[in-house]
Structure 1
Amino acid sequence: MTAAPSFADVRAAADRIHAEAVRTPLLPVTLPSGGLAFVKCENLQRTGSFKFRGAFNRLSMIPPEARAAGVVACSSGNHAQGVAEAARILGMPATIVMPKDAPATKVRRTRGFGAEVVLYDRHTEDREAIANAIAARTGATFVHPFDDAGVIAGQGTIGLEIAEDCAQRGLKPDAVLVCTSGGGLVAGIATALAELSPETAVHTVEPAGFDDYARSLAAGERLRNASLGGSVCDALMSNVPGAISFSVGTRRLSPGVVVTDDEALAAVAFAARELKLVVEPGGAVALAALLSGKVETAGRIVVAVLSGGNVDDAMLARALALTAPDA
């Protein structure tokens, strides 16, 4: 699955996943600045993140005769859970390569969905090499977390829903903010919106120090991050944009936005206190861009995608303590 998906591919993905994926709500949010925005609540998606969409679409495309060999994937946790659950539904064995420092809740939930978990050291080992070796040995299909057209098309169904739900309100979004790591989500959303709402600007949002996508868009070439770890946004630490997603991004994305870890944690706390939503730091960076004033909202319709809610209790407590009203 190496070519960029088309809008027709996104529509086909919507047909494949509609019986299993949740159509998540688009909720209005009154910002502290007084502006009005919307959040697309993929933290309420099956397995707790948007990743289920792409995983189920891609696994559904595997020919029936190849399914018995199973699937293998590499992920810090959200793609892991999406693939594990999609494989369970489709009756396929799954092996997931996960970093040793992945949040415990993500490792536990991945195993709970029935997958075998293989742990690796993100600082000294290559997760894709490990996953590809497993695939070569077992005959399993390797499902990349973001650089796969079937995965990207599945994530693009979020863009379909944003456009449709805004249209039902008589609105056209001026901008959509998307939590970004390797870029599968933002590429899929941009592909859908290019057809349904071409005037909408689509922005990547990344944590500081892991802003390879923003820097790559500015430079016109794929650039790497210096570090492989160290942010609270564990879901957003891919060190280089995917080749397929970047081919979409260079044509369809507006300049990227960067937020700090503290801004991400503040967004986690805001979501919990004000929206009554549980969101992980990596899934909250788009909301953080709104709350920190890094995107203009006055007189505009802006949508932030809450991409995941798989947060450890300790991290949620840290966010709430950092932003306690009397702090």
Structure 2
Amino acid sequence: MELSKYTNTTRLNEFILEGFSTRFDLAIVLFLFLVFIYLFTILGNTGIMFIVYHNSQLHTPMYFFICSLSFLDLCYSSDIVPKMIVDLLSEKKTISYFGCAVQLFFFCALGSSECSLFAVMAYDRHVAICNPLNYNLVMQQRTCWLLMLGVYTIGFLHSIIETCCTFSLSFCSSNILHHFACDFPPLLRISCSDTTINEFILFIFTSSIIMPATLVILVSYLSIFLAILKINFSGRKKAFSTCVSHMTSVTLFFGTGLYVYLSPRSNYSTRDGIVATFVYAVIIPMSNPVIYSIRNKEIKTALQAIFLSRVKWRI
């Protein structure tokens, strides 16, 4: 496809998204695949929230944070996937200048919030396993809500700064984004302004969220590991099972996020960036309900109880 050229005096009204192959047969397959993923994401995450809300035994800090993660994943996926699905069958894959800014704002805000939430969840597990006698005193309901307020405050403040900085740039040489969504790296690559300061700000602010969160997670799980070694085998197995789900999600999310936002620009590959973004923006929101339900005995028990009650009601 020929690049859309703009002069310095032309106002940019839209971007063209070219993240996937334009072959029709591949587009149909990917369309069906994404529809399945999105429906599974909706059902999985709303299912987790429904189960936690309707089961009083799950009204604990751990499940409050799992429910919050499901809400974030649902919103996160909904910001990206519906547009991807529509674009796959559209002849012209465009997004307005304003639409791009809105998509990027929520993409960054929700992603940053999820990053902080993973750190909060790690701290919650640290207190539960390393200091169980004081768990209810430390993780009170008010504390949980304040932590979630902090999570959203950090995420949305970060997004406001980054989005404003990015859209203060000029886009006058091309309006083609080699990506399936509006994200910082592809936008910076097509800007005709000097992006040195923007890249520095992106690195600093992203690091200020990812690095402290990573440190909290590592310290928390190191303490958990040392504490687990001191307890008996049966208790050790249960403690490990409560942490495996969280560590699986964290590894997937942080691994791909670190590559996209903190790797040097000279080492950044557009293709690899698209794959990494696809993993943390599409695959992870779908997989988290599976990870937390399969590895969680309480959620499986609650799900079975709801299913049996429905069956008995129909009989």
Q: Shared fold (TM-score greater than 0.5)?
A: no
By relative contact order (CA 8 Å, sep 6+), the higher-ranking structure is: 2
**Structure holding more helix per residue:** 2
Report the TM-score when normalising by structure 2. 0.27
- More strand as a share of residues: 1
- TM-score normalised according to structure 1 size: 0.26
Could you say which structure has the larger radius of gyration? 2
